[in-house]
Copies of this chain bind each other. A is one copy, B any other.
Amino acid sequence: MTGILAGLRIVEGSAFIAAPLGGMTLAQLGADVIRFDDIHGGLDSDRWPVTKDGRSIYWAGLNKGKRSIAVDLRSPKGRELLAALITAPGEGAGIFTTNMPARGWLAYEALAKKRADLIALNIVGARDGTAHVDYTVNAITGFPMVTGPVGHDGPVNAVAPPWDLATAYAGAMAILAAERHRRLTGQGQRILLPLQDMALAATSALGYIGEAMVNDVDRPRFGNEIFGTFGRDFRTRDGRYVMICIFSDRHVDALAAAGGFKQAFAGIEKQHGVDLKTDAGRWRARAELCAVIEAGGAIQTPDDVGTGLKKAGELWAPYKTFRELAHDREAVLDNPMFTVLDQPGIGRYPVAATPLQFGAVERQPPGPAPVLGEHTDEILTTILGLPGHEIARLHDDKVVGGPR
């Protein structure tokens, strides 16, 4: 490992998205991330999407570049081995992340008896310990009631899980904050991160709670429009869609130049008494702006739109399906972040490395996800120092397993 986080070792007991994605983020930056699972697989080992043979493409995506140890989580001996692994000595070791219930043998207090400077990140559902997932957290944030087409009745769920994503990266950040603190003071600590609080804090930061309280309004659904400035999807003549936004006066000029709308825009300003160079002016005249764009010649095909708008420096993008994205040259196939990888049991497909480019180290290409228990023996040997015959007995006793 030669990434920016070389020298760190994190042991992870995780399921679903937030915890494993946080671990994968650290692994792709060069940390040694060891994921443990029950010998029969964890809660999300088979989660969809799966291949025709039932292998989880989901699991593979979230566990890239980690090592895997498979242990019978119910056996006292298995638990003892994992506690020893979590608390093994080493300056950059002694870091544990989990979204499993941190009770009993996994409680911070129990583990800290073996290593006083342990760092443990515990991702929970709500602050009272109630279980939650992105969907149940998202429901209360308010976002589903303003997402989706105008006139739609009822909530619209997010498909890209905003709170899992936020929790994954904020959790990874918290590990580094605690590791810095340990380096400065020698102290370890427990870190608690409730998925629900993460969502509520972000909803607060984005101004939604303040707006509701101070202005005493419930913002209605605005469909695909960007609230408070100008932006919307437009259908092209060949039946596809593009997103066009204006966030600055430069973008107004760019769109006017690309579409030949200079006069029409001036007409809107005059007729409605608005200044299109301001967010408020664009928001007030958004229907008129849309009418000009739709009547104009700009919306031919995404390629035409692209050529004109890109040249003019306008903010736009074509909408793509997942399959279009997967085959897209600029975004994926020719993007140096992606490598076509052979993921054992699943197949060959483009897989992303970290999006972060650190000047001091070269970006490492992505490694595949391990198969369950791929590194069981290696970890028992090198980190716990067990001799071969003892490892063999652990396999015979079904205390450890893998690879499978």
> A33 interface residue, CB < 8 Å from B?
no
> Is the CB–CB distance between A224 and B156 below 8 Å?
yes
Give per-residue flags for A321-332: 1 if the beta carbon is below 8 A from chain B beta carbons, else 0: 111111010011
The residues of B that contact A160 with a CB separation of less than 8 Å are 138, 141, 143, 147, 158, 162, 202-203, 206
A332 close to B156 (CB less than 8 A)? no
Interface residue? A379 (CB, 8 A): no
Copies per assembly: 2
Other A-B pairs beyond A61-B205, A208-B322, 19, CB < 8 Å:
A4-B181, A49-B211, A132-B317, A133-B245, A140-B331, A144-B319, A148-B148, A155-B224, A162-B165, A176-B177, A178-B358, A178-B360, A185-B360, A196-B331, A201-B355, A204-B352, A209-B325, A209-B352, A213-B350
A193 and B357 in contact, given A142-B322, A202-B165, A241-B155 (Cβ under 8 angstroms): yes
7 A-B pairs with the lowest CB-CB distances in the bound complex, closest first: A48-B228, A169-B169, A142-B322, A136-B317, A197-B355, A189-B359, A204-B352
Segment with Cβ contacts to B, from A17-25, A66-74, A76-84, A264-272: A17-25
Q: How many residues of A contact B (CB 8 A)?
A: 159
A319 to B136, CA, bound (A): 8
Among A121-159, those with CB < 8 Å from B are 127, 130-133, 135-149, 152, 154-159
Q: Is the CB of A235 within 8 A of B154?
A: yes
B233 touches A52 (CB 8 A): no
Quick check: B136 and A147 within 8 Å, CB to CB? no
Residues in B neighbouring A355, C-beta threshold 8 A: 170, 193-194, 197-198, 200-201
**A133-B144 Cα distance, complex, nearest whole Å:** 21
Interface assignment of A227: CB less than 8 Å from any CB of chain B: yes
| A135 partner residues in chain B, CB cutoff 8 A | 226, 231, 243, 245, 317
